[in-house]
């Protein structure tokens, strides 16, 4: 199964992709995670990407094409993948088409995770990662016991550098301008599925599975 996940930052693409990856053994390909790994590795490219990401802007289409074409050529992606965070521009969508044409494997679906703006803001400003377990939490939505379990075990609730309010506003603007038009791009082709992504992780996952079944 080859799926593109569309949706604003905070719409839950990563969370849902990870669940599907675990269930169906299809790799989640998150360009955001790949870029963060390059930043953490401290490569020259990572340093350049960091300032773009910290401001909530997009890394160039050319660089993203290089990253994604290498990743999709890896053996674990040969039977399918869940693209999380790519494509983000019309050019990237066209590049993806060309790439998939070359390997003769068309997309099965583009799935839009649809959420209200207000909820997005809370999801993003409240998002934290437990430094001990790597678990994704949210100060507004996670049960207090789960938040306490992290801090009481000596962990910290860490916030992504691009999850502060000013950068979040920019990321949402960039999404509206550059990525949202892709909803129509895939709708016109007849392979767009829309999932109401407002609800608990399990509720949304059930809708997601139904959409791709």
> Which positions are catalytic?
13, 88, 127, 160, 171
Given a contact cutoff of 8 angstroms between Cβ atoms, the answer to whether 110 and 1 are in contact is no
- When the beta carbons of 116 and 161 are compared against ligand AMP, the nearer one is 161
Q: Is 5 helix (H, G, I), strand (E, B) or coil?
A: strand
CB of 56 to ligand AMP, least distance (A): 5
- When the beta carbons of 34 and 150 are compared against ligand AMP, the nearer one is 34
- State the binding string over 28-57 for ligand AMP (x if CB under 6 A, else -): ---xx--x----------------xx--xx
CB of 152 to ligand AMP, least distance (A): 28
Nearest to 13 by CA among 113, 88, 89: 113
Can residue 58 be called a binding residue for ligand AMP (CB under 6 A)?
A: yes
- Alpha-carbon span 157 to 77, nearest angstrom: 33
Contact range with ligand AMP by CB under 6 A, out of 81-89, 133-141, 148-156, 189-197: 81-89
Number of neighbours of residue 19 by Cβ within 10 angstroms: 19
* Residue nearest ligand AMP by beta-carbon distance: 32
Give the binding site for ligand AMP (CB under 6 A): 9, 31-32, 35, 52-53, 56-59, 64, 85-86, 88, 92, 162, 171
């Amino acid at each position: 199964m080859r799926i593109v996940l569309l949706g604003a930052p905070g719409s839950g693409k990563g969370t849902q992709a990870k669940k599907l990856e675990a269930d169906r053994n299809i790799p989640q390909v998150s360009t955001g995670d790949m870029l963060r790994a390059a930043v953490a590795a401290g490569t020259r490219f990572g340093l350049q990407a960091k300032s773009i990401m910290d401001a909530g802007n997009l890394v160039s289409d050319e660089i993203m094409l290089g990253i994604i074409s290498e990743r999709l050529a890896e053996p674990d992606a040969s039977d399918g993948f869940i693209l999380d965070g790519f494509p983000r521009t019309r050019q990237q969508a066209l590049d993806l088409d060309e790439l998939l044409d070359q390997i003769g494997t068309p997309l099965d679906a583009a799935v839009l995770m649809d959420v209200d703006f207000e909820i997005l803001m809370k999801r993003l400003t409240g998002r934290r990662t437990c430094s001990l377990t790597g678990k994704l939490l949210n100060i507004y939505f996670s049960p207090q016991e789960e938040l306490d379990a992290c801090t009481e075990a000596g962990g910290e609730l860490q916030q992504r550098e691009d999850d502060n309010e000013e950068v979040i506003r920019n990321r949402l603007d960039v999404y509206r301008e550059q990525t949202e038009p892709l909803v129509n791009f895939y709708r016109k082709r007849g392979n767009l599925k829309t999932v109401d992504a407002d609800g608990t992780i399990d509720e949304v996952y059930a809708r997601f599975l139904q959409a791709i079944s």
